[in-house]
Amino acid sequence: AFECTKKLEGKHIIIVDDIITTGSTLNACAQVLKNKGVKKITAVALATPMDILQNNLEKEIMNLDSF
């Protein structure tokens, strides 16, 4: 479980993760941030399987191993 004690209302938060496989960890973290009133959440991953990228083409995904 994730916990956030900072005031984040209206902020743009960038989450950096080593790899996104199922997205469940990222989703749990993003939900906590949304509940804190975060305006925008950007996730950056060092590696992401191609099927995850293909299933999420409508979302802005920045993946460092794709550059």
**pLDDT band of 61, cuts 50, 70, 90:** low
Task: Work out how many domains the chain is built from and give that number.
Answer: 1
| Contacts of 40 by beta carbon, 8 Å cutoff, 6+ apart | 12, 13
Residue 5 lies in a domain: no
DSSP string, 1-62: -----S--TT-EEEEEEEE-SSSHHHHHHHHHHHHTT-SEEEEEEEE--HHHHHHTTTS--E
Which range of residues forms the domain containing residue 34?
A: 12-66
pLDDT in tens, 46-56: 887 776 666 65
Please give the pLDDT value at position 67.
42
- In whole angstroms, give the CA distance from residue 7 to residue 51: 35
pLDDT in tens, 1-24: 778 888 999 999 999 988 888 888
Report whether 26 contacts 53 (CB < 8 A). no
Query: Which range scores top for mean pLDDT: 1-5, 26-30, 47-51, 61-65?
Result: 26-30
Residue 34 lies in a domain: yes
Residue 25 lies in a domain: yes
